[in-house]
Chains A and B, each alone.
Chain A
Amino acid sequence: AQRVTQPEKLLSVFKGAPVELKCNYSYSGSPELFWYVQYSRQRLQLLLRHISRESIKGFTADLNKGETSFHLKKPFAQEEDSAMYYCALQTDSWGKLQFGAGTQVVVTP
């Protein structure tokens, strides 16, 4: 069965500290993975996608097929990174996404 697991509901870090959000998936096909972010009182938006291999706002994510993981990392957290982060797995060629339950990140000064 297809599944996306984000084990941490809440992650609290200090400004300037590294932050890592865990995402594990279960999928029999070739995975395409995404991170979406929702800032306070804003709508859900794409942060980055695996296929682009990009770094957005200092965040990177590496697909590890052996560990079936797609963890999101940032070396130095900023207060503006406080938000809800969702890992998403595309489960068909038509763009259907399956989301994890999300991780709330709180960056304190």
Chain B
Amino acid sequence: EAGVVQSPRYKIIEKKQPVAFWCNPISGHNTLYWYRQNLGQGPELLIRYENEEAVDDSQLPKDRFSAERLKGVDSTLKIQPAELGDSAVYLCASSLGQLIYNEQFFGPGTRLTVL
């Protein structure tokens, strides 16, 4: 079992450029989360999906960030255009469902550097 898969692992771009991150959750996991982790901080939730529906995107900066989860499996998070302050690690996690004892499994993350 590969666990949650994310790509790319590292990305360096110049400001104002677009960037996209991809996540493949654990098979059978209906809930998918995108987190952003700034240096020296804990992860902060950006968006949560239940199957293909975004059920919580209150923390997603919608002016430049977008996400999709087609067919309720893989997900893509996009930033357009990127700003210097977007430099962070973007984590994807998945879980079986919404119950409180359903563990969230994290991917390795994508480290984004915006120059």
A interface vs B, CB < 8 Å?
4, 9, 32, 43-46, 49, 51-52, 86, 88, 90, 93-102
CB of B4 to closest CB in A, whole Å: 8
B104/A46 in contact, CB under 8 A: yes
A94/B3 in contact, CB under 8 A: no
- A-B contact number at CB 8 A: 57
A102/B109 in contact, CB under 8 A: no
Q: Beyond A43-B3, A44-B106, is A95–B42 a contact (Cβ under 8 Å)?
A: no
CB of A39 to closest CB in B, whole Å: 12
B103/A96 in contact, CB under 8 A: no
- B42-90 interface with A by 8 A CB criterion: 42-45, 48, 55-56
- What does DSSP make chain B's interface, helix, strand, loop or mixed? loop
| Central interface residue in B44, B99, B102, B106, by most chain A CB within 10 Å | B106
Please tell me if B98 contacts chain A, counting CB pairs below 8 Å. Answer: yes
CB of B8 to closest CB in A, whole Å: 16
- B16-56 interface with A by 8 A CB criterion: 31, 40-45, 48, 55-56
